[in-house]
Structure 1
Amino acid sequence: MHNVGRKNYLFCGSHEAAKRAGLLYSLLVSCKLNNVNPYEWLKDVLSHNINELTTSKLKSLLPHRWKKQESNTAA
């Protein structure tokens, strides 16, 4: 499976684009491993103005930490 992903990255357009795609795939798999809905997580994360967030707030948006916030903000 690893080789299939690596060969697919050849079609990303550039080495940097392939790295970004791999990063996104890793975050989405992290959602799956932590029983987080990837669509809901990504929608919420993209709604933040990331440039203005502190490091600790950025870390709280990672899937394994976001799940805890999700239950606190759901009402």
Structure 2
Amino acid sequence: LIENSIRPLALGRKNYLFAGSHKGAQRAAMMYSFFASCKYAGVNPWEWLADVLGRIGAHPVNRLEELLPERWAEKQGGGL
């Protein structure tokens, strides 16, 4: 179970080599982290991303943690 849970991270490391730039690799790693957080919280990552991208521009900076997958799921009434 442990090996299977970290397999995407190992694959991601290889993919980061071909991200085009260091910043591109950092952004890809950030998205992998967000999607792993969605999986952990039982949140559909595409629903979460669509909702958050639509709201983030008007969301107060001091409350950005509310948009993280676990907190987002609480406000939506649960995960998947």
Q: How much does 1:4 deviate?
A: 2.7
Q: Which runs of 5+ in 1 are unaligned?
A: none
**Which 4+ stretches in 1 moved above 6 angstroms?**
none
> Separation in 2 of the partners of 1:21 and 1:11?
11
Q: CA RMSD of the aligned region, Å?
A: 1.9
Residue identity over aligned pairs, in percent, reads 46
Q: Which runs of 5+ in 2 are unaligned?
A: 1-6
Alignment pair present for 1:63 and 2:69: yes
TM-score (norm 1): 0.82
Post-superposition CA distance 1:19-67 (Å, at most 9, x none): 01000110001000000111110010010143652221x1100001000
Alignment pair present for 1:9 and 2:16: yes
Say if 1:49 and 1:36 are closer, same or farther in 2 by CA, change over 3 A: closer
> Separation in 2 of the partners of 1:63 and 1:52?
15
